[in-house]
Structure 1
Amino acid sequence: MSTAEVCALQRQLLEHPANPTAWEQLERALAVASPRGSHPIHVEASFKPAVETLPRGVFEQPAPRQLTAEAILRRAKEQVDEGQMEAAIGTVERWLEAVGEEQETPMLAFIRAHAYRLTDRADTAMEVLERFGSSEENAWIPFELGLILKALDRPEEAYLCFRRAKGIQPDFTWAAIEAANTTAEADVPLGRLDGITSAGAETGDVLNVHIDRMLRCGPLLLLIGWSSLPFENGSLFSLADPLAPGKRAVGGSTFYVRPDVCQALGRPDHESLGFAALLDVSSFHRWSELGQLRLVVQAEGAEDTRATSAEICLADIAEETDLSKVFEAVLGVFHVSIDSCNRWHEALRLFLPSTILKLSALFERHVSEEAGNVEVHWLSPPLQTGLPVASVIFVQLGSFISAKPAILQLAKTNLPLEIIVVNNSPELFSETFHLLDRFSGIRPDFRIGILNRASNLGFSAGCNLGARHASGECLVFHNNDLFADSVVDYKLLIQHALNEPNVIHSTFQYFTDGTLMQEGLTATRLTTARTQPFQLYNGYSIGRNQTRGKVLACSGSLMAMSQPLFAHLGGFSEEIVYAHFEDFDLCLRAQQEGIGIKVWNDITFFHAEGTGSVAPYHLSGTTSHINRMLFSLRWGKVLDAMDLSVEYSL
């Protein structure tokens, strides 16, 4: 290759450095040009070959000034990714010598500082990046600066850099992780973080509060953050409307342990300094005119309020339009509080009656908006012998494999049946499809269909969706982890539902070891050491704990009734947040109209409880408590008039 060709190839590589073929061509050309006995030069390692090994004139010209900073950045990044830190530093610094140091961009400084830090030259890295440290456009600049400061054993400054990086880019997970790690690994209390000190927290009347996240949707405002002093669960947070004296946005709260905050403030690790508050802001209007509102906290039982250092401008908080994210945030922080050693009824003080009802209304809206977002897949044609005697409806969340025994038993009944699976786990559609497809042609009067949801909308909405697509004379709502003692038990249950169409039917259920699980549901009052704002009620399984009681409801895990009766009752309530207490709610509505409930003791079903669904973190161990509160608010007066002999103390 001639000298002119080598120069042309070099210019091509300077403009387009990510071209491995061109680099190989140049390396071969340089190897041929090397004097006898010298070693060929590996171009990628050194980027600029030594002049003495080349024909005269190849590298005597300066670096081309038309070369862009972006091209240099691409090449230096490739070298860093390959572990060639010295080469990356050389690439950037030779270009700066040619064009002038004033041409260095923040990202070129970032890649150069990054390479210096990884070669144990944090001081030099600091000199390179420090002048760009105030950049608010790219989160990687303060993030790298934080790593450099951490290497220089300056953890307080490093923490603030990580926090600034997360402020520029809120979803910057690495910045959040490094901030937490910095506080956890530091040998000294980081008492000056974000301008808060443990001494200043107790000075004056203003309580230092830092808000990490604000989420607004409709009438609700969720605040997540930390305080310099712990408060009781249930303390009231509020904002006053300056345009309408007397109007306030008020919400309950839950306080939980935040080890990173305790470490930062030099406080005991067990102190509950983290908090979440859910405010009802429905009374506020003309948000754009409200300006900055001071957040106020009132300890439960106290008459005086205390101003905090937090100011909130509602107009600056964008409305969250994805309702699934709203429920994930609210239920997620509720779960965090329970995991933080709060008992569930203490963490439940995050919710006031007004906010729990508005959360329920938001969920009903969410279900309504997503109602049409479903794919219908019938795996077999309609029955040739007429309508099925029953439509058996399963609602899937997690793997459907546990339902195989029940599907097989239903297939063996030889009754004309329709199996409908409402899939609330769309990522598992393929697995469910292949499992059910094996049964689809087992006999001509056994029809199977899958209703595939785009997202999880809960048990009530799933049952109602299945019922709308059902054609059977009666409906059987069936959990995935349930199966009969024999095929005859299915036949008996369906026969009862056909013979008594104006009654809700269920059966005795047993654990898989043969011990009694339930013979129906009843209600009990709950009492707590701290007075709740209203009476809490709970449902429990009769027979499970040997405590007797009047049957008020039957379990939604196995429930049969006629199609017209289900339609008359309006189906399961879609105000129930995801799952729990929808069965009790339906049965109480039925009893208000004089509709009977029968739980048959001569029909045996086994329940492998807990194997039928896998709930994500924010739904696990939360929705039962949320809906218990909702159930108590809705049915409290009716239950209070009943003779409920059982009372539980929490």
Structure 2
Amino acid sequence: GFGWGFGWGFVCFLPGERVDAAFVDMEIEVSGRRLLYPSNGVRELDQSALVPNCIDLLKARPDGLLHAMLRQPLFNGKDTLAELAAHVQLAIDEFILVPGDGALLTGWVIDPTFAVRSIRLRAHGFQSQDMTSAWVSQPRPDLVAAFQSLGLADHARPGFTAFVPLNAQRLIAPHLEVTLHSGEVGFKSLPSARGGSLNAILSMLNGVEVAPDDMARSFAGVFAPATRALNRARLSQRAPHLLVNIGPEVVGPAVSVIVPLYGRIDWMLHQCAHFSRHGLPGVELIYVLDDPPRKNDMISLAQRCFRWFGIPMRLVLLPQNVGYGPANNEALRVARGRHVCFLNSDVLPRDGEWLRRMVGALEADDDLGAVGARLLFEDGTLQHDGMSLRRLPQFGNIPFPLHPGKGQRPPPGQGLRKVEAITGACMVLPRALAQELGGFDEDYAVGDFEDVDFCLRIRAKGLTCAVHDEVVMWHLERQSQQAPGVSWRQNLTTVNAWTFSERWGHAVVGAPCPPGAVLNLS
């Protein structure tokens, strides 16, 4: 605390928008007591008039701060790393700015003598924290081989991915400031920043391997916030969809069946063939195309399906690929049924009673929020009979939805059975409830975890989720998608798992695995 006759003078800079002169009072906390002092208002000060005052204050400091500051080099647009006494090489492969959220940087650094103390992103009026303490390092065998003559260790990981949070809409003269332990400072200019896209997300995650004990740091600090920022930015630029009606309008539909399509649009043909066996009376069938280059093919195929099977439908044609959740949400906005059924294109009914039974279960129980079906693989083994949440140590104790009994012969049906969550591959609920919840959460990029999140939001309203295991359907899982053939798929699933864990981890027994923890694998 303050003794009588003692005190400190201080100068501080508080960044912020220009405010009214009435401004705000100053609050000081001393030994748990809060003291409120009225401010003298805000004055516009001439910058040139402030310089002498600042110099006088710096001269008064005994530690020579003024001389230290004057000795610091300034960035003039040129790279100066080669002028440092230590051998340091730094390259940036990708620099992506997400206005209002942050900047994503990928590249590599060669520092064989461990001379670097910090690397910061700087721009006019902005300085980041040290990026090296938070970035995700990655192996680069090509660089290790190329720089072995410098004594680079075989296990070195010179590649990196960094995400720098910032709320700026643009950066003026952005560059990297490299500070050595010796105090020397060098600069690295940055390539022109480009905007984010889905390809930026996939490129960031492709080829990345993260150990279980490093999951929390890597995904919490870099991959999850970067993916969310990039995904939000691309979704914010969505253009309106095109709505196409095929066949006569279904008047006053009881149910709207929403089916997203990406890649394998031919599944619409197989699904409509199964629907035609028993018909879809009183049902509004909506196919939403999340694959814009296939628009003409989609319209042509839908017309053929109507001619062959006599099933009217509505097409929601998106101008850009948005992912599973946003695609379903677009269709939800045009749905007219009292209930809505989210259905995958590779889920096929075995009889004509499937929809009537699930809707009937909802109408018979006001506490039931959503109901799903028992889904079987083509060989008759179980694919889905409800989901349970479990933390997986091999993924840093992040919770994942598991399918109990998957791959086994299904047990006898029990009718309606309450479960933790049901899959979005076949989910029926009141349309009013789906719209009240805002549809699927669009922070889950491309697909995965939207359905589990949706179920937990339903349960948070005091409602339940259930599987009607006497409603049995075929599910040819992921055959409706083209095989990705790249490693970004699992990493993106883990990103979505981390986003889910941040929001719902409190509802799952256990905790994330901290870095360096002992993993108990079974």
Q: After TM superposition, is the score higher than 0.5?
A: yes
Q: Of residues 517, 525, 536 in structure 1, which corresponds to 2:398?
A: 536
Contact 2:418 2:466 in 1 (8 A): no
Q: How has the CA–CA distance of structure 1 residues 630 and 387 changed in structure 2, closer, same or farther, with 3 Å as cutoff?
A: same
Runs of 5+ consecutive residues of structure 1 not aligned to the other structure: 1-194, 298-304
Q: Distance in 2 between matches of 1:213 and 1:362?
A: 14
Partner of 2:369: 503
Return the structure number with greater relative CO, CA threshold 8 A, min gap 6: 2
Secondary structure of the structure 2 residue equivalent to 1:610: coil
Give percent identity, aligned residues only. 20
Q: Of residues 284, 290, 294 in structure 1, which corresponds to 2:177?
A: 294
Q: Distance in 2 between matches of 1:395 and 1:236?
A: 50
Matching residue's letter, 1:421: Y
Q: Of residues 407, 423, 435 in structure 2, which corresponds to 1:555?
A: 423
Q: How has the CA–CA distance of structure 1 residues 239 and 565 changed in structure 2, closer, same or farther, with 3 Å as cutoff?
A: same
Q: How has the CA–CA distance of structure 1 residues 604 and 578 changed in structure 2, closer, same or farther, with 3 Å as cutoff?
A: same
Matching residue's letter, 1:629: W
Q: Is 1:261 aligned to 2:143, yes or no?
A: yes
Partner of 2:507: 638
Secondary structure of the structure 2 residue equivalent to 1:440: helix
Secondary structure of the structure 2 residue equivalent to 1:463: helix
Q: Is 1:623 aligned to 2:492, yes or no?
A: yes
Partner of 2:166: 282
Contact 1:237 1:279 in 2 (8 A): no
Contact 2:245 2:315 in 1 (8 A): yes
Q: How has the CA–CA distance of structure 1 residues 387 and 244 changed in structure 2, closer, same or farther, with 3 Å as cutoff?
A: closer
Q: Distance in 2 between matches of 1:306 and 1:537?
A: 44
Q: Distance in 1 between matches of 2:273 and 2:387?
A: 28
Please tell me whether Structure 1 or Structure 2 has the larger radius of gyration of its CA atoms. 1
> How far did 1:610 drift?
2.1
Secondary structure of the structure 2 residue equivalent to 1:620: helix
Q: How has the CA–CA distance of structure 1 residues 499 and 381 changed in structure 2, closer, same or farther, with 3 Å as cutoff?
A: farther
Q: Distance in 2 between matches of 1:602 and 1:336?
A: 43
Q: Distance in 2 between matches of 1:206 and 1:406?
A: 63
- Worse-matched range after superposition: 615-624 or 451-460: 615-624
> How far did 1:225 drift?
2.1
> How far did 1:256 drift?
3.5
Partner of 2:15: none
> How far did 1:242 drift?
9.5
Q: Is 1:430 aligned to 2:296, yes or no?
A: yes
Secondary structure of the structure 2 residue equivalent to 1:513: coil
Secondary structure of the structure 2 residue equivalent to 1:487: coil
Within 5 A, what are the aligned runs for 1:318-333? Answer: 318-321=192-195, 323-324=196-197, 327-333=198-204
Q: Distance in 2 between matches of 1:428 and 1:320?
A: 27
Q: Distance in 2 between matches of 1:587 and 1:359?
A: 23
Partner of 2:391: 525
Q: Distance in 1 between matches of 2:182 and 2:161?
A: 15
Partner of 1:462: 327
Q: Distance in 2 between matches of 1:286 and 1:222?
A: 13
Within 5 A, what are the aligned runs for 1:20-59? Answer: none
Matching residue's letter, 2:245: W
Contact 1:419 1:447 in 2 (8 A): yes
Matching residue's letter, 1:376: L
Partner of 1:188: none
Q: Distance in 2 between matches of 1:422 and 1:259?
A: 43
Q: Distance in 1 between matches of 2:480 and 2:169?
A: 46
> How far did 1:463 drift?
0.8
> How far did 1:626 drift?
0.9
Q: How has the CA–CA distance of structure 1 residues 228 and 495 changed in structure 2, closer, same or farther, with 3 Å as cutoff?
A: same
Q: How has the CA–CA distance of structure 1 residues 212 and 567 changed in structure 2, closer, same or farther, with 3 Å as cutoff?
A: closer
Secondary structure of the structure 1 residue equivalent to 2:429: strand
Question: TM-score when scaled to structure 2?
Answer: 0.69
Q: Is 1:224 aligned to 2:91, yes or no?
A: no
Q: How has the CA–CA distance of structure 1 residues 317 and 212 changed in structure 2, closer, same or farther, with 3 Å as cutoff?
A: closer
Matching residue's letter, 1:374: H
Secondary structure of the structure 2 residue equivalent to 1:438: helix
> How far did 1:418 drift?
1.7
Partner of 2:96: 215
Partner of 2:351: 486
> How far did 1:436 drift?
2.0
Contact 1:525 1:536 in 2 (8 A): yes
Q: Of residues 300, 303, 306 in structure 2, which corresponds to 1:440?
A: 306
Within 5 A, what are the aligned runs for 1:32-181? Answer: none
> How far did 1:469 drift?
1.1
Contact 1:411 1:442 in 2 (8 A): no
Secondary structure of the structure 2 residue equivalent to 1:584: helix
Partner of 2:277: 412
Secondary structure of the structure 1 residue equivalent to 2:274: helix
Partner of 2:242: 375
Q: Distance in 2 between matches of 1:413 and 1:569?
A: 32
Q: Which string of whole-angstrom CA distances, capped at 9 and with x for unpartnered residues, describes residues 1-27 of structure 1?
A: xxxxxxxxxxxxxxxxxxxxxxxxxxx
Q: Kindly tell me the number of residue pairs found equivalent between the two proteins.
A: 420
Contact 2:135 2:221 in 1 (8 A): no
Q: Distance in 2 between matches of 1:599 and 1:559?
A: 9
Contact 1:208 1:310 in 2 (8 A): no
Contact 1:484 1:490 in 2 (8 A): no
Q: How has the CA–CA distance of structure 1 residues 246 and 392 changed in structure 2, closer, same or farther, with 3 Å as cutoff?
A: closer
Q: Is 1:573 aligned to 2:441, yes or no?
A: yes
Partner of 1:601: 469
Q: Distance in 2 between matches of 1:604 and 1:522?
A: 19
CA RMSD of superposed structures (Å): 4.1
Q: Distance in 2 between matches of 1:307 and 1:558?
A: 61
Matching residue's letter, 2:403: S
Secondary structure of the structure 1 residue equivalent to 2:328: helix
Q: How has the CA–CA distance of structure 1 residues 335 and 270 changed in structure 2, closer, same or farther, with 3 Å as cutoff?
A: farther
> How far did 1:451 drift?
1.3
> How far did 1:481 drift?
1.4
Q: How has the CA–CA distance of structure 1 residues 641 and 590 changed in structure 2, closer, same or farther, with 3 Å as cutoff?
A: farther
Contact 1:410 1:490 in 2 (8 A): no
Q: Which string of whole-angstrom CA distances, capped at 9 and with x for unpartnered residues, describes residues 187-214 of structure 1?
A: xxxxxxxx99xxx9xx976643322332
Q: How has the CA–CA distance of structure 1 residues 238 and 411 changed in structure 2, closer, same or farther, with 3 Å as cutoff?
A: farther
> How far did 1:586 drift?
0.8
Q: Distance in 2 between matches of 1:513 and 1:570?
A: 37
Matching residue's letter, 1:570: G
> How far did 1:393 drift?
0.8
Q: Distance in 2 between matches of 1:354 and 1:454?
A: 30
Contact 2:103 2:166 in 1 (8 A): no
Q: How has the CA–CA distance of structure 1 residues 429 and 497 changed in structure 2, closer, same or farther, with 3 Å as cutoff?
A: farther
Partner of 2:256: 391
Q: How has the CA–CA distance of structure 1 residues 263 and 347 changed in structure 2, closer, same or farther, with 3 Å as cutoff?
A: farther
Secondary structure of the structure 1 residue equivalent to 2:287: strand
Q: How has the CA–CA distance of structure 1 residues 306 and 465 changed in structure 2, closer, same or farther, with 3 Å as cutoff?
A: farther
Partner of 2:187: 311
Contact 1:206 1:306 in 2 (8 A): no
Contact 2:350 2:472 in 1 (8 A): yes
Matching residue's letter, 2:162: L
Contact 1:294 1:307 in 2 (8 A): no
